[in-house]
Structure 1
Protein backbone atom coordinates (compact mmCIF):
# COMPACT_ATOMS: atom_id res chain seq x y z
CA UNK A 1 0.00 0.00 0.00
CA UNK A 2 1.34 3.43 -0.96
CA UNK A 3 1.87 6.02 1.71
CA UNK A 4 -0.23 9.15 1.36
CA UNK A 5 1.62 12.26 0.26
CA UNK A 6 1.80 15.01 2.85
CA UNK A 7 -0.65 17.83 2.19
CA UNK A 8 0.52 21.42 2.46
CA UNK A 9 -0.69 23.53 5.37
CA UNK A 10 -2.27 25.97 2.89
CA UNK A 11 -4.42 23.24 1.35
CA UNK A 12 -5.50 21.93 4.75
CA UNK A 13 -6.37 25.49 5.82
CA UNK A 14 -8.51 26.08 2.72
CA UNK A 15 -10.41 22.81 3.21
CA UNK A 16 -11.02 23.64 6.87
CA UNK A 17 -12.31 27.09 5.96
CA UNK A 18 -14.72 25.62 3.40
CA UNK A 19 -16.12 23.17 5.96
CA UNK A 20 -16.37 25.93 8.58
CA UNK A 21 -18.77 27.78 6.28
CA UNK A 22 -21.22 24.91 6.70
CA UNK A 23 -20.74 24.91 10.47
CA UNK A 24 -23.04 27.91 10.88
CA UNK A 25 -26.77 27.06 11.23
CA UNK A 26 -27.97 30.29 9.58
CA UNK A 27 -25.90 29.55 6.47
CA UNK A 28 -27.44 26.10 6.25
CA UNK A 29 -30.90 27.65 6.56
CA UNK A 30 -30.10 30.10 3.76
CA UNK A 31 -28.73 27.33 1.53
CA UNK A 32 -31.88 25.30 2.12
CA UNK A 33 -34.01 28.30 1.09
CA UNK A 34 -31.93 28.70 -2.07
CA UNK A 35 -32.38 25.03 -2.99
CA UNK A 36 -35.44 25.91 -5.10
CA UNK A 37 -33.74 28.78 -6.94
CA UNK A 38 -32.61 32.34 -6.49
CA UNK A 39 -34.09 34.63 -3.88
CA UNK A 40 -33.68 38.31 -3.09
CA UNK A 41 -32.23 39.37 0.24
CA UNK A 42 -35.63 40.52 1.54
CA UNK A 43 -37.13 37.07 0.86
CA UNK A 44 -34.30 35.49 2.83
CA UNK A 45 -34.70 37.98 5.68
CA UNK A 46 -38.43 37.22 5.95
CA UNK A 47 -37.97 33.44 5.69
CA UNK A 48 -35.25 33.34 8.36
CA UNK A 49 -36.94 35.90 10.63
CA UNK A 50 -33.68 37.73 11.26
CA UNK A 51 -32.13 41.08 10.35
CA UNK A 52 -30.97 42.10 6.90
CA UNK A 53 -27.50 42.77 8.34
CA UNK A 54 -27.30 39.19 9.63
CA UNK A 55 -28.45 37.64 6.34
CA UNK A 56 -26.12 39.89 4.33
CA UNK A 57 -23.16 38.91 6.51
CA UNK A 58 -23.75 35.21 5.84
CA UNK A 59 -24.39 35.76 2.13
CA UNK A 60 -21.08 37.61 1.84
CA UNK A 61 -19.15 34.74 3.45
CA UNK A 62 -20.74 32.19 1.09
CA UNK A 63 -20.12 34.45 -1.91
CA UNK A 64 -16.44 34.79 -1.03
CA UNK A 65 -16.19 30.99 -0.79
CA UNK A 66 -17.65 30.59 -4.28
CA UNK A 67 -20.79 28.84 -3.04
CA UNK A 68 -23.23 31.58 -4.13
CA UNK A 69 -23.83 33.88 -7.09
CA UNK A 70 -25.17 37.43 -6.80
CA UNK A 71 -27.25 39.19 -9.41
CA UNK A 72 -28.49 42.77 -9.17
CA UNK A 73 -31.79 43.95 -10.63
CA UNK A 74 -32.54 47.57 -9.90
CA UNK A 75 -32.09 48.07 -6.18
CA UNK A 76 -32.51 44.37 -5.36
CA UNK A 77 -29.80 41.73 -5.01
CA UNK A 78 -30.67 38.14 -5.89
CA UNK A 79 -28.64 35.16 -4.68
CA UNK A 80 -28.44 31.65 -6.06
CA UNK A 81 -26.26 28.62 -5.48
CA UNK A 82 -23.19 28.56 -7.73
CA UNK A 83 -21.89 25.18 -6.62
CA UNK A 84 -24.62 22.49 -6.57
CA UNK A 85 -22.09 20.10 -5.05
CA UNK A 86 -22.85 21.81 -1.75
CA UNK A 87 -26.26 20.09 -1.76
CA UNK A 88 -24.69 16.68 -2.36
CA UNK A 89 -22.36 17.29 0.58
CA UNK A 90 -25.27 18.32 2.82
CA UNK A 91 -27.30 15.30 1.68
CA UNK A 92 -24.44 12.95 2.57
CA UNK A 93 -24.21 14.42 6.05
CA UNK A 94 -28.00 14.37 6.56
CA UNK A 95 -28.21 10.74 5.41
CA UNK A 96 -25.43 9.77 7.82
CA UNK A 97 -27.16 11.55 10.70
CA UNK A 98 -30.53 9.97 9.82
CA UNK A 99 -28.95 6.50 9.83
CA UNK A 100 -27.41 7.14 13.24
CA UNK A 101 -30.71 8.38 14.65
CA UNK A 102 -32.55 5.36 13.22
CA UNK A 103 -29.99 3.04 14.80
CA UNK A 104 -30.33 4.81 18.14
CA UNK A 105 -34.12 4.44 17.93
CA UNK A 106 -33.73 0.70 17.32
CA UNK A 107 -31.44 0.46 20.33
CA UNK A 108 -34.00 2.24 22.52
CA UNK A 109 -36.83 0.03 21.25
CA UNK A 110 -34.79 -3.07 22.01
CA UNK A 111 -34.30 -1.83 25.56
CA UNK A 112 -37.95 -0.82 26.07
CA UNK A 113 -39.85 -2.46 28.90
CA UNK A 114 -43.26 -1.80 27.31
CA UNK A 115 -45.30 -4.98 27.02
CA UNK A 116 -42.81 -7.00 29.04
CA UNK A 117 -43.97 -8.24 32.45
Structure 2
Protein backbone atom coordinates (compact mmCIF):
# COMPACT_ATOMS: atom_id res chain seq x y z
CA UNK A 1 0.00 0.00 0.00
CA UNK A 2 1.41 3.35 -0.99
CA UNK A 3 1.68 6.29 1.40
CA UNK A 4 -1.09 8.02 -0.52
CA UNK A 5 -3.39 5.00 -0.12
CA UNK A 6 -2.59 4.82 3.59
CA UNK A 7 -3.44 8.49 3.96
CA UNK A 8 -6.76 7.98 2.17
CA UNK A 9 -7.65 5.08 4.49
CA UNK A 10 -6.73 7.24 7.48
CA UNK A 11 -8.96 10.07 6.22
CA UNK A 12 -11.90 7.67 5.83
CA UNK A 13 -11.38 6.27 9.34
CA UNK A 14 -10.95 9.74 10.82
CA UNK A 15 -14.45 10.65 9.64
CA UNK A 16 -15.83 7.94 11.97
CA UNK A 17 -14.25 9.59 15.00
CA UNK A 18 -17.07 11.89 15.96
CA UNK A 19 -17.11 13.64 19.33
CA UNK A 20 -19.06 10.89 21.07
CA UNK A 21 -16.76 8.14 19.78
CA UNK A 22 -13.69 10.10 20.85
CA UNK A 23 -15.18 10.64 24.31
CA UNK A 24 -16.05 6.96 24.80
CA UNK A 25 -12.60 5.82 23.63
CA UNK A 26 -10.84 8.31 25.92
CA UNK A 27 -12.99 7.28 28.90
CA UNK A 28 -12.31 3.61 28.19
CA UNK A 29 -8.57 4.23 28.25
CA UNK A 30 -9.03 6.32 31.39
CA UNK A 31 -10.74 3.32 32.99
CA UNK A 32 -7.87 1.06 31.96
CA UNK A 33 -5.35 3.63 33.21
CA UNK A 34 -6.12 3.00 36.87
CA UNK A 35 -4.42 0.04 38.62
CA UNK A 36 -7.39 -0.62 40.93
CA UNK A 37 -9.84 -0.74 38.05
CA UNK A 38 -7.49 -3.03 36.12
CA UNK A 39 -7.36 -5.39 39.11
CA UNK A 40 -11.15 -5.40 39.40
CA UNK A 41 -11.69 -6.01 35.68
CA UNK A 42 -9.05 -8.74 35.68
CA UNK A 43 -10.86 -10.48 38.54
CA UNK A 44 -14.18 -10.16 36.71
CA UNK A 45 -12.59 -11.98 33.75
CA UNK A 46 -12.84 -15.08 35.97
CA UNK A 47 -16.60 -14.69 36.41
CA UNK A 48 -19.23 -12.97 38.49
CA UNK A 49 -18.26 -11.63 41.94
CA UNK A 50 -20.04 -9.79 44.74
CA UNK A 51 -18.76 -6.43 45.94
CA UNK A 52 -17.66 -8.04 49.21
CA UNK A 53 -15.86 -10.83 47.37
CA UNK A 54 -14.02 -8.33 45.16
CA UNK A 55 -13.03 -6.24 48.19
CA UNK A 56 -11.80 -9.28 50.13
CA UNK A 57 -9.99 -10.92 47.20
CA UNK A 58 -8.18 -7.73 46.20
CA UNK A 59 -7.66 -6.48 49.78
CA UNK A 60 -9.55 -3.24 49.12
CA UNK A 61 -12.20 -1.39 51.09
CA UNK A 62 -15.79 -2.05 50.11
CA UNK A 63 -16.22 1.70 49.63
CA UNK A 64 -13.31 1.85 47.17
CA UNK A 65 -14.60 -1.14 45.23
CA UNK A 66 -18.12 0.32 45.05
CA UNK A 67 -16.73 3.63 43.79
CA UNK A 68 -14.67 1.95 41.06
CA UNK A 69 -17.52 -0.34 40.04
CA UNK A 70 -19.82 2.68 39.67
CA UNK A 71 -17.27 4.28 37.33
CA UNK A 72 -16.96 1.05 35.31
CA UNK A 73 -20.74 0.56 35.22
CA UNK A 74 -21.28 4.07 33.87
CA UNK A 75 -18.96 3.17 30.99
CA UNK A 76 -20.87 -0.10 30.48
CA UNK A 77 -17.73 -2.12 31.11
CA UNK A 78 -19.40 -4.05 33.93
CA UNK A 79 -22.98 -4.97 34.75
CA UNK A 80 -24.64 -6.19 37.92
CA UNK A 81 -27.51 -8.20 39.18
CA UNK A 82 -29.10 -8.00 42.60
CA UNK A 83 -29.78 -11.04 44.75
CA UNK A 84 -31.42 -9.90 47.95
CA UNK A 85 -29.15 -7.19 49.33
CA UNK A 86 -26.08 -8.42 47.46
CA UNK A 87 -24.88 -7.02 44.13
CA UNK A 88 -23.01 -9.37 41.81
CA UNK A 89 -20.84 -7.80 39.10
CA UNK A 90 -19.62 -9.28 35.83
CA UNK A 91 -18.00 -8.04 32.65
CA UNK A 92 -20.24 -6.26 30.16
CA UNK A 93 -17.93 -5.46 27.25
CA UNK A 94 -16.09 -8.35 25.65
CA UNK A 95 -14.09 -6.00 23.39
CA UNK A 96 -12.59 -4.08 26.30
CA UNK A 97 -11.98 -7.25 28.30
CA UNK A 98 -10.09 -8.69 25.33
CA UNK A 99 -8.10 -5.46 25.09
CA UNK A 100 -7.27 -5.73 28.80
CA UNK A 101 -6.21 -9.37 28.46
CA UNK A 102 -3.99 -8.50 25.49
CA UNK A 103 -2.42 -5.59 27.40
CA UNK A 104 -1.70 -7.86 30.38
CA UNK A 105 -0.21 -10.50 28.08
CA UNK A 106 1.88 -7.83 26.35
CA UNK A 107 3.15 -6.48 29.67
CA UNK A 108 4.00 -9.94 30.99
CA UNK A 109 6.36 -10.49 28.04
CA UNK A 110 8.45 -7.42 28.87
Which residue of structure 1 lines up, in the alignment, with residue 69 of structure 2? 59
User: 1:88: how far off?
Assistant: 1.3
User: Whose Rg is larger?
Assistant: 1
Which residue of structure 2 lines up, in the alignment, with residue 104 of structure 1? none
Given candidates 27, 33, 51, the residue that maps to 2:37 is: 27
User: 1:82: how far off?
Assistant: 1.2
TM-score (ref. length: structure 1): 0.76
Matching of residue 43 in structure 1 with residue 18 in structure 2: no
After superposition, the C-alpha distances for 1:26-84 in whole angstroms (9 at most, x for unaligned) are: 11111111112111111011011111110000000111111111100111010011112
Q: Distance in 2 between matches of 1:76 and 1:63?
A: 16
Greater length-normalized contact order (CA 8 Å, ≥ 6 residues apart): 2
Q: 1:11 to 1:86 in 2, by over 3 A?
A: closer
| Equivalent residues, number | 100
Given candidates 16, 23, 26, the residue that maps to 2:26 is: 16
Compute the RMSD of aligned alpha carbons: 1.6
| 2:91–2:97 CA contact under 8 A, matched in 1 | no
Q: Distance in 2 between matches of 1:13 and 1:36?
A: 28
Q: 1:95 to 1:40 in 2, by over 3 A?
A: closer
TM-score (ref. length: structure 2): 0.80
Long gaps (5+) in structure 1: 102-117
